[in-house]
Amino acid sequence: MLIDFILLFLLAGVPYYLLLEKIPFIQKDKIFPIAALLVITGMFVSCIFEHKSSMPFIVIAFFASLFSLYKANETNNLHKLTYYILFFNAPLLIMLNTKESILYGASLIIALLGVYLMGRYYVKNYGSANYQSVTGMTLVSPYAGLILTVYFTALALYPPFPNALLFLNGILKSEINTLWYIVVVVIFFGNFLIAVRVMAKTVFGKPNDNVHYIDISPTERVLHLLIVSVLLLLSIIGLQEVIS
Partner 1 sequence: MEKLVLLIPFLPIMIAIMIGFLHKKEHMPKVAIIFSSMVALLALFGTYYVMSTDKAIDGLGGYLIYNELSAILVPYVAILGLVIRKYSTKYMWDEPGYKRFFILLNFIFSAIYLLVMSNNLIILTIAWQLMSIGLYLLITFNVESKSAIKNGGWTMLVHKLADLLFIIAVILTYKTFGSFDLSILSQKWLALYQSGGSDNAMIYLIGFLFLFAAMMKSAIMPFHLWLPYTSEAPTPVSALMHAGVVNVGGILLNKMAFLLLLTPAVLNVAFVMGLITAISASILMLAVSDIKRSLGYSTVGQMGYMIMEVGLGAFSLAIYHLMVHGIFKASLFLESGSLIHHARKEPSVPKRLSYEIFWEEKPQYNSINMFRIIAFFAIFPVIVFISVKFLLGEDFFHFNVATLIVAFAWLTGTQLFLSFFEVSKANSPKVIFTLISSFIVVLFTYEFVGLALEHFLYGKNGELFYEVATLHISGTMTIIMIMSIMIVGWYFTYRQHFVGVPLGEHKPNKFRWRIYKMLAKEGYISDLYVKYFKIF
Q: Which residues bind partner 1 (CB under 8 A)?
A: 136, 138-139, 142, 149, 153, 156, 158-160, 164-165, 168, 171-172, 176, 184-185, 188-189, 192-193, 196-197, 200, 203-207, 239, 242-243
Q: Of 57, 170, 25, which is closest to residue 105 (Cα–Cα)?
A: 170
When the beta carbons of 1 and 243 are compared against partner 1, the nearer one is: 243
In angstroms, the CA 240 to CA 165 distance is 9
In angstroms, the CA 205 to CA 138 distance is 9
Rg of the chain over CA atoms, in angstroms? Answer: 18
When the beta carbons of 13 and 170 are compared against partner 1, the nearer one is: 170
* Dihedral sign computed on CA atoms, order 26, 28, 33, 36: positive
When the beta carbons of 205 and 215 are compared against partner 1, the nearer one is: 205
When the beta carbons of 23 and 176 are compared against partner 1, the nearer one is: 176
Q: Is 204 exposed, middle or buried (0-12, 13-18, 19+ CB in 10 A)?
A: middle
CB of 110 to partner 1, least distance (A): 19
Assign 216 to helix, strand or coil.
Answer: coil
List all residues 6 or more positions away from 146 whose beta carbon is below 8 Å from its beta carbon.
Answer: 138
CB of 159 to partner 1, least distance (A): 5
CB of 26 to partner 1, least distance (A): 33
In angstroms, the CA 198 to CA 210 distance is 20
When the beta carbons of 96 and 184 are compared against partner 1, the nearer one is: 184
CB of 12 to partner 1, least distance (A): 23
Residue type, position 42, single letter: G
Region of residue 29 (left: phi > 0; alpha: psi -120 to 50; beta: else): alpha
CB of 200 to partner 1, least distance (A): 5
When the beta carbons of 113 and 187 are compared against partner 1, the nearer one is: 187
When the beta carbons of 10 and 150 are compared against partner 1, the nearer one is: 150
CB of 229 to partner 1, least distance (A): 15
Q: What is the DSSP string of 50-80?
A: -----HHHHHHHHHHHHHHHHHHHH--BHHH
In angstroms, the CA 144 to CA 150 distance is 10
CB of 30 to partner 1, least distance (A): 31
